[in-house]
Amino acid sequence: MTNRNLILGAAALAACLAFTPADANAATPAPAARSRPQAEVIRLKKAAIIDEQTFGRRAEVVSMLIPADWSFKGGYPVDFNAFRWCPENAFAGGFQAQSADGRLAIAAYPAMQTIHFQNPLLAEDARRRAQMGQGFCPQRPPSNLGQFVEQVLVPTMRPGARVLGVEPVPVLQQNIRRQIASMALPPNMSMNGDAAEVVIGYEVQGQQVEEHIYVIGGWRGESAGMGSAGPDTIYSLYTPIIGLRVPAGQFKRHQQQFANIIATMRGNPQYLAAVIAAVQQQRTNIFNNWMGEIRATSAIWRQSWEAANNAAKQKEAAAQQRQSYDVAGAWSDTVLDVQNYKDANGETVQLSGGYNHVFSNRNGEYIQTNDPSYNPAVATGGNWESIAAIPR
């Protein structure tokens, strides 16, 4: 399970949110684009997480389109001390996009890697290393998602919040199973995964809200041939891919708007490839130097970035990203009720379907309406270009 789960999971989630469970399972043709009120005008802008630190240059991590009046804050800080012994936990990135009135919000949170040494020899070695400041990942026995949510996730992310429910999410579960089935695992390794929707309640500015957090978890067991009955070492990676906040009792009312925003999320394939390469390299270093010092990591970042610049690597990363829109059988533009456009900057962008008039400016903003008399230059000022949908 890697950092690209944010994009893979978000893609699956967009389709999951767009339909009721009955719709998701029905083998019927995709619905036609929904009709929109003629007077409705939707204005969107691009928001992105930018990493200025990790590779010594400015790099976009992930982007999305949000309503133009929403606020956005996000970052991708890297803890290089954590990277030394637990590279998966070094990336503490996240974001929050919030409506102007504060009633709606979309947030992403950092993943959490834990480790459990089932073999007593490795457990004792890890204990001694922890005393020397070589702590590895946090040590915690594997737990199901429900236990993790109540004991770790909510107390850490939303202290004081009430857990209102934890339910399985079949679309995300299928996504995880497909990923695991596609992996060529060595004989000494086993892997499984799960997904859940967590609903929590808390108060924001005196108002009761509920947040629907979609979490995926993966467990990887590795045997070192040391005589244990099961895997010697078990890694657990918990990824709260997205959280959707609404006033209490209003989730279904805003479900489609959330789906439309999430469907526009795009990861930078080069950046993701570089991060994955760095984590895998450092994980290899840890095991190759199990009884010795870990070598300096500065070269790893440079080499990972250079490797990600390789055309073949970029092509592979892009293919992995495209594959995310095929999982669970729900990734056509028609199913998600979105349409591809070529914007004023010549970039391809996905916007909600059902609008006859779409405009773009060179600041990464978009306006959608069915009102033939609407003139964005008069209404908002600035230079806008009418853009046409790319034929399917």
DSSP states of 87-132 as a string? Answer: GGGGB--EEEEE-TTSS-EEEE---EEEEEE-SHHHHHHHHHHHHT
Tens digits of per-residue pLDDT, 132-162? Answer: 766 678 888 888 888 888 888 889 888 999 9
Burial 337-370 (b: 16+ CB within 10 A, else e): bbbebebbeeeebbbbbbbebbbbbeebbbbbbb
Label residue 48 left, alpha or beta by phi (over 0 means left) and psi (-120 to 50 means alpha).
beta
Tens digits of per-residue pLDDT, 319-374? Answer: 655 544 443 333 334 445 678 889 998 888 888 777 889 999 998 899 999 898 99
Beta bridge partners of 71: 98
Instruction: Read off φ and ψ for residue 265, nearest 5 degrees.
Output: -65, 130
Q: Please give the pLDDT value at position 160.
A: 92
Q: Please give the pLDDT value at position 315.
A: 66
Instruction: Read off φ and ψ for residue 119, nearest 5 degrees.
Output: -80, 125
**Residue that wins the pLDDT comparison between 337 and 185:** 185
Confidence class for position 263, pLDDT limits 50, 70, 90? confident
Token reading at 252: 């279904």
What does pTM read for this prediction?
Answer: 0.73
Kindly report the length of the chain. Answer: 392
Tens digits of per-residue pLDDT, 198-218? Answer: 999 999 988 999 999 988 888
- Listed in sequence order, the residues at least 6 apart from 222 whose beta carbon sits closer than 8 Å to its beta carbon are 188, 189, 231, 232, 233, 234, 235
**Sheet of 365-369, strands arranged across:** 266-267, 59-67, 41-51, 365-369, 357-360, 385-386
Residue 19 has pLDDT above 60, yes or no: no
Tens digits of per-residue pLDDT, 237-253? Answer: 888 778 999 999 999 99
Q: Which percentage of the chain shows pLDDT scores above 70?
A: 76
Tens digits of per-residue pLDDT, 157-173? Answer: 889 999 999 998 888 88
d(CA 288, CA 292): 9
Confidence class for position 287, pLDDT limits 50, 70, 90? low
Q: Please give the pLDDT value at position 318.
A: 61
> Rounded mean pLDDT of 192-203?
90
